[in-house]
Amino acid sequence: MGAMLLSILLLGACASKKDVVYFQGVGTSALDTIALDYTPVLKADDQLAIAVSALDPSAAIPFNNFEPNQGTVNGSPKRLPYLIAKDGTIVFPQLGTIRLAGLTRLQAIALFQEKLRPFLQDSVVTIELLNFKITVVGEVKTPGTFPVKSERITVIEALGLAGDMTLWGTRENVLVIRESEAGKSFTRVDITAADLFQSPVYYLEQNDVVYVEPNKPKINNSATSATTGIIISITSLLITVISLIVR
């Protein structure tokens, strides 16, 4: 315990500002502005809640996927969610197969309104992504998988959900693992650098994994702890054997 405490104290004493401070170089001018342009798109395996309403509520009923004989929610029938298939489509009541993958939420709403126009006047369509979640693992205080309620989340917000990095986390080499139709991609970002905000993974997507790897002091400390444990075990065994021989 004492050795661990000493290691932490030494780490803190040796760490410099550039090792632990985020966003270095940002805010050197009062007029510093970084343009951020990101709108998430729908993709395969997204689970959606889609609701259609109109001036005449009864006319909109055939275009809603109500769950049969399962009661109500706040006085309204329960709606079944839609799962975007691997080919990027869903099957929608009365409208058939519709491709949604690659569209933003607003583009998908506009597409539905266009397809509904021959059947409904002044239709209102709402779309909500139900299974937006990200995973943060490694050198953070509370690793885990976290649901996301908003339409988008940044890598910084994800680290915040996980309680931020520990002192052992490598801030210059955070890995973001992303899966798309093209396969898995691996992107590393430097949380201490100002160009973080231009990274293609600054905004996370559904099912992204953020991994914070341990720094060298943590790796060295783990190796030392393991070696120390082996030495203690061998020493204890030798003492026991010697005691038995002496007796």
Residue pLDDT, tens place only, 53-111: 999 989 999 999 887 665 545 556 778 999 999 999 999 999 999 999 999 999 999 99
Task: Look at the chain and count its residues.
Answer: 247
Residue pLDDT, tens place only, 15-54: 555 666 777 766 655 445 655 678 889 999 999 999 999 9
Let me know if domain 132-214 sits in CATH 3.40.50.2020: no
Give 177's contacts (C-beta < 8 A, 6+ positions apart): 184, 185, 186, 208, 209, 210, 211
List the domain boundaries for the chain: 47-129, 132-214, 217-247
| Contact yes or no for 207/133 (Cβ under 8 A) | yes
Tokens of 128: 């909500």
Per CATH, the number for 47-129 is 3.30.1950.10
Residue burial 58-80, b: 16+ Cβ < 10 Å; e: rest: eebeebbbeeeeeeeeeeebeee
